[in-house]
Amino acid sequence: MNQNNIDKIVQSVLAKIGHEQTAAVVRSAAAEPATTVPASAVQPTALLSSASVRLDAEDSNAIHIDDQIGVINPKRVEVLRDFVGSTAARVAVGRAGLRPKTRELLNFLIDHSRSKDTVLKDFPDGWVEKSALLELRTEIVEKDQFLTRPDLGRKLSAESVVIAQNQCKKNPQVQVIVSDGLSTDAVVANFDEIIPALLNGLNSNGLDVGTPIFVRHGRVKVEDHIGEILSAQVVILLIGERPGLGQSESLSCYMVHSPTVSQTVESDRICISNIHSAGTPPVEAAAVIVNLAKKFLRDGKNLSTQK
Ligand code: B12
């Protein structure tokens, strides 16, 4: 839902509960986003996000930032602009008495619903087949079980163990795995950019790359099981991160050297997180991962990220 729709909902709710005057102020601000509304007009309701701190209409970026500032009559608005402009977090949103403003509350509920939807979502029909990766499954049979039994998402099913043994290259220097994890959106959004760059980067550095694998309903530790079955030296797992409030397309890369189910511990792993268009761009992440793979091969488990 976009900001205009939210503003319309706020207006209609206010009009219904008898705040005609406030609704009119909100309406006028929404209709003329670049107009400075006198602070005295909005003070009693504290519902307008930023009408009192709008910038010049010609500076569209500044207007966008000011739209997010909910503090009425801030002492140093430029500090708030810097702050809001530096993060996607919910900062300087203001308040209505002790409560959040209606608009902020609605924004929060929208983001929260989106996160919950993302966790429950499956891949679009045919997406996995189109990815051209070899599909393996964990011991999970359906989504609810995936969310409630992380332990089963850490092991391949017996059937998939056989497929891996029969169809995958053994003893690769580098094994690439993609898995849905907690966000299929993260995989769908970043796949086309990160996978070609990653595979090309590994190949062009002369590394022996295993059969690229897709694991449905996977958790991070499934890379240990796969790495052990295939005797891979370095395993690279790209997996959907748990969605946050406002970012649900973020992919993580978990890398490990010569993993085994019984011996590998979390601290053996390296994590490169926040791979998405507004974080670490997927192509850049691919370059970082290729470099780390080379360092892992050189240093083994005692990887140093300094050299
Ligand atoms: C959930 C979470 C946790 C949970 C994991 C619990 C669980 N069983 O799910 C808890 C609270 C325990 C946790 C702890 C830590 N976490 Co954490 N965590 C996350 C979070 C929010 C989501 C991860 C996710 O979705 N993974 C994908 C799902 C599918 O994985 P999973 O198999 O269900 O769960 C595994 C992973 O979550 C993994 N994991 C979680 N955090 C970390 C951190 C590292 C360095 C490693 C190697 C693995 C790891 O451990 C789980 C068990 O195997 C991310 C934020 C993000 N944007 O990704 C941060 C994040 C991954 N964590 C981070 C950090 C720093 C840590 C800690 C080192 C914090 C500390 N100082 O103790 C510890 C290390 C834990 C470990 N396993 O080694 C950083 C990693 C930064 C980096 N690039 O290295 C992140 C990116 C947060 C951040 N922005 O700073 N974490």
pLDDT in tens, 189-225: 999 999 999 999 999 999 999 999 999 999 999 999 9
The answer to whether residues 47 and 24 touch, using CB atoms and an 8 Å cutoff, is no
CA distance 286 to 275: 10
If you measure from the C-alpha of residue 43 to the centroid of ligand 1, how many angstroms do you get, rounded to a whole number?
43
Residue 29 pairs in a beta bridge with none
What CATH architecture is 127-302? Answer: 3-Layer(aba) Sandwich (3.40)
Ligand 1 site, residue 155, Cβ cutoff 6 A: no
- Whether the pLDDT of residue 187 is over 90: the answer is yes
CA distance 219 to 156: 10
CA distance 245 to 79: 24
User: Considering only CA atoms, which residue is closest to atom 52 of ligand 1?
Assistant: 220
Interval 75-94 mean pLDDT:
90
User: Considering only CA atoms, which residue is closest to atom 76 of ligand 1?
Assistant: 266
The ranges assigned to domains in the chain are: 3-120, 127-302
pLDDT the model gives residue 30? 37
Q: Which atom of ligand 1 is least distant from the CA of 242?
A: 25
If you measure from the C-alpha of residue 221 to the centroid of ligand 1, how many angstroms do you get, rounded to a whole number?
12
Of 302, 278, 277, 303, nearest in space to 289 by CA: 303
Q: Which CATH class is domain 3-120?
A: mainly alpha
**pTM above threshold 0.75:** yes
**Alpha carbons within 13 A on the beta-carbon side of 307:** 9
If you measure from the C-alpha of residue 266 to the centroid of ligand 1, how many angstroms do you get, rounded to a whole number?
9
pLDDT the model gives residue 211? 98
Ligand 1 site, residue 295, Cβ cutoff 6 A: no
- Whether the pLDDT of residue 175 is over 60: the answer is yes
- Whether the pLDDT of residue 182 is over 50: the answer is yes
pLDDT the model gives residue 3? 63
DSSP state of 154: G
For the stretch 39-60, pLDDT in tens is 333 333 332 333 333 334 444 4
Read off the pLDDT band of 28 (50, 70, 90): very low
pLDDT the model gives residue 224? 98
Phi, psi (degrees; rounded to nearest 5) at 177: -130, 140
If you measure from the C-alpha of residue 275 to the centroid of ligand 1, how many angstroms do you get, rounded to a whole number?
14
Amino acid at 37: V
pLDDT the model gives residue 89? 84
> b or e along 167-190 (b: 16 or more beta carbons within 10 Å of the residue's beta carbon)?
ebeeebbbbbbbbbbbbbbbbbbb
Residue 25: count other Cβ atoms within 10 Å of its Cβ: 22
Ligand 1 site, residue 220, Cβ cutoff 6 A: yes
For the stretch 96-142, pLDDT in tens is 999 999 989 998 999 999 999 999 999 999 999 999 999 999 999 99
Which residues are CB-neighbours of 302 under 8 A, at least 6 positions away? none
- Whether the pLDDT of residue 265 is over 50: the answer is yes
CA distance 62 to 180: 37
Ligand 1 site, residue 119, Cβ cutoff 6 A: no
Ligand 1 site, residue 250, Cβ cutoff 6 A: yes
Residue 55: count other Cβ atoms within 10 Å of its Cβ: 18
Of 175, 198, 204, nearest in space to 275 by CA: 198
Ligand 1 site, residue 157, Cβ cutoff 6 A: no
- Whether the pLDDT of residue 147 is over 60: the answer is yes
Ligand 1 site, residue 182, Cβ cutoff 6 A: yes
> b or e along 221-235 (b: 16 or more beta carbons within 10 Å of the residue's beta carbon)?
bbbbbbbbbbebbbb
Which among 264, 273, 288 is the best mutation to test ligand 1's pocket, defined by most ligand atoms within 8 Å of the CB?
273
- Whether the pLDDT of residue 63 is over 60: the answer is no
Which residues are CB-neighbours of 113 under 8 A, at least 6 positions away? none
